[in-house]
Amino acid sequence: MTMDADAELIELGRKLFAGEWQFFWASPSIETLPPMSGVEVAFAGRSNVGKSSLINALTGRNALARTSHTPGRTQELIFFEGPDKSGLRLVDMPGYGFASAPKTKVASWTALIRKFLQGRSNLARVYVLIDARHGLKEIDLDILKTLDESAVSYQVVLTKADQVKPAELEQRLADLTGALAQHAAAFPEVLVTSSRSGAGMSELRAAMVRVLRERS
């Protein structure tokens, strides 16, 4: 892709996310999902990886997605809609892994995530968030495997990059790139972000514009 094309996507992404974004729907179960419409991109990741903070940083809305320091607070699939004509929806998924909730509840969230990934034909991309301080964990690999089996295209996004030294971040990137080479449905490029500093947000917005274009 040329520099001009990159610049165009970044500008289109800026305009898309400068528009009005709002809460649209919350689904505690597969039976309560909204009708399929437009193009959906979902955000998956371990509890407390920073999904809600990332959505807030993307949309420039401090309180669009509810953030919490208590892992496991997002207990439903939360849908957000952008400007009318864009047709793009963002889906904040329950965090997987550790959560301060009963094991039966965690198991039901996990089942919800898997069913959603496997049965949503308008789900165009899943962004799998990995904490730059910790890297890939066993439970992340389980989700990558589920995504591979579901044939859902996904891309890894490193979060909290501002909290890691440059040399350590470089090593994380190298490790992730190597690991992703084993996964057919994985987008090869890893996006590096920080919700706090805003780093990587332009590139992530541009990536979503590209997904919209591919689907239309």
Give the range among 12-21, 146-155, 198-207 with minimum mean pLDDT: 146-155
State the Cα–Cα distance between residues 116 and 120, nearest whole angstrom: 6
Q: How confident is the model at residue 170 (pLDDT cuts 50, 70, 90)?
A: very high
Q: Give the C-alpha distances (Å, rounded to integers) separating 214 from 10, 33, 40, 117.
A: 16, 24, 13, 19
Query: Which residue reads 């859902």 in tokens?
Result: 152
**What CATH number does the domain containing 206 carry?**
3.40.50.300
Res 67: pLDDT? 57
Q: What is the mean pLDDT of the chain?
A: 88
For the residues 13-41, what does the mean pLDDT come to?
Answer: 93
Written in H, E and C, the secondary structure of 28-84 is: CCHHHCCCCCCEEEEEEEECCCCHHHHHHHHHCCCCCCCCCCCCCCCCCEEEEECCH
Res 64: pLDDT? 85
For the residues 96-119, what does the mean pLDDT come to?
Answer: 75
Its domain, for residue 14, covers: 3-215
What digits encode the pLDDT tens for the residues 44-84?
999 889 998 999 999 998 878 775 444 444 578 999 998 87
When mean pLDDT is compared over 70-79, 90-99, 200-209, the highest value belongs to 200-209
Query: Which residue reads 């997987």 in tokens?
Result: 96
Number of independent structural domains in the chain: 1
For the residues 115-122, what does the mean pLDDT come to?
Answer: 89
Assess whether pLDDT exceeds 60 at residue 2.
no
Res 101: pLDDT? 64
151 φψ region: left (φ > 0), alpha (ψ -120 to 50), beta (else): left
For the residues 102-113, what does the mean pLDDT come to?
Answer: 75
For the residues 8-37, what does the mean pLDDT come to?
Answer: 93
State the Cα–Cα distance between residues 201 and 191, nearest whole angstrom: 9
Q: Is the dihedral of CA 137, 141, 142, 143 positive or negative?
A: positive
Q: How confident is the model at residue 35 (pLDDT cuts 50, 70, 90)?
A: very high
72 φψ region: left (φ > 0), alpha (ψ -120 to 50), beta (else): left
Q: How confident is the model at residue 121 (pLDDT cuts 50, 70, 90)?
A: very high
For the residues 30-41, what does the mean pLDDT come to?
Answer: 94
For the residues 126-146, what does the mean pLDDT come to?
Answer: 92
- Which strand (E) or helix (H) includes residue 27? strand 22-27
Burial class of residue 135 in the structure, from the number of CB atoms within 10 Å of its CB (0-12 exposed, 13-18 middle, 19+ buried): middle
